Amino acid sequence: MSDLLIYEKEYWQRSFQYIAGIDEVGRGCLFGDVVAAAVILPHGLILEEVNDSKKLTAKKRDKLYDIIMEQAIAVSTGLVDAETIDRLNIKQATRLAMKQAVERLPVKPDFLLVDAEKVETDIPQMAVIKGDAVSQSIAAASIIAKVTRDRLCQGEWDLLYPEYGIASHKGYATKLHRERILELGPTPMHRKSFMRNLFVEEQTLF
């Protein structure tokens, strides 16, 4: 696990104190917001089992979510909705969600470790390829973002549109989800720009 602190250690040694890991989830979904998280962990803290959220079970992510929320110096999230994603494009919407997450941190970071992206801010930063697999701070952010979005899918969003099965597929382009879109049409929370490419023969629906 200590290997996941290689980037943090480098910048701690350069006298940066508050290093925030930044990651997002929901970039490839057809439905709902893209969600980013920012997490500042204490200097030298090692969180056992923290890893890329995609490699963890839902039960493990929930457990680690609570640990991160308890142990972190600061945690925040940013959410950008489907209408904004369609208007800006997903890359720019992801960057906006990351920027929101950074700006909402109750403690201002002095360095950012970002999962393969750039945040529009004057705070020094480093884009880390596959950062959620090599940085504990980014991995923690991936867990916060994933759990936050999954809980929205299983709660508020599923209640809004129960017939679409959002709680089960989390907004991704599963067979069930595609069938429900073709049967019922898109909701206001569906990303129209994504579906025009997916449903080439049914473009008039979107």
Helices 58-71, 136-154: axis angle to 10 degrees equals 120
Number of domains in the chain: 1
The model's pLDDT over 44-95, given as tens digits with 9 standing for 90+, comes to: 999 989 987 888 999 999 999 999 999 999 999 999 999 999 999 999 999 9
Is there a domain that residue 140 lies in?
A: yes
What's the mean pLDDT when you consider all of the chain? Answer: 94
The reported pLDDT for the residue numbered 200 is 62
169 domain-assigned: no
> What residue numbers bound the domain in which 59 lies?
2-156
Is residue 163 included in any domain, yes or no?
Answer: no
Residue 166 included in any domain: no
φ, ψ of residue 16 in degrees (nearest 5): -80, 135
Q: Are strands 74-80 and 19-25 parallel, antiparallel or unpaired?
A: unpaired
Asked whether the predicted pLDDT for residue 140 surpasses 50, the reply is: yes
- Which residues lie across from 149 on neighbouring strands? none
Kindly indicate the confidence band of residue 2, based on its pLDDT and cuts at 50, 70 and 90.
very low
Average pLDDT over residues 123-140: 97
**Residue 116 placed within a domain:** yes
Q: What is the pLDDT of residues 93-122, one digit of tens each?
A: 999 999 999 999 999 999 999 999 999 999
- Output the domain CATH number for residue 80: 3.30.420.10
> What SS3 string covers the chain?
CHHHHHHHHHHHCCCCCCEEEEEEECCCCCECCEEEEEEECCCCCCCCCCCCHHHCCHHHHHHHHHHHHHHCCEEEEEEECHHHHHHHCHHHHHHHHHHHHHHCCCCCCCEEEEECCCCCCCCCEEEECCHHHHCHHHHHHHHHHHHHHHHHHHCHHHHHCHHHCHHHHCCCCCHHHHHHHHHHCCCCCECHHHHHHHCHHHHHHC
Looking at residue 196, what is its pLDDT?
A: 78
* Confidence band, pLDDT 50/70/90 cuts, at residue 1: very low
**Which token pair is 127?**
């884009």
Output the pLDDT for position 29.
Answer: 97
C-beta of residue 198 within 8 angstroms of C-beta of residue 174: no
- Label residue 198 by pLDDT band (50, 70, 90): confident
Check pLDDT > 70 for residue 173. Answer: yes
Q: Are 166 and 44 spatial neighbours (Cβ–Cβ below 8 Å)?
A: no
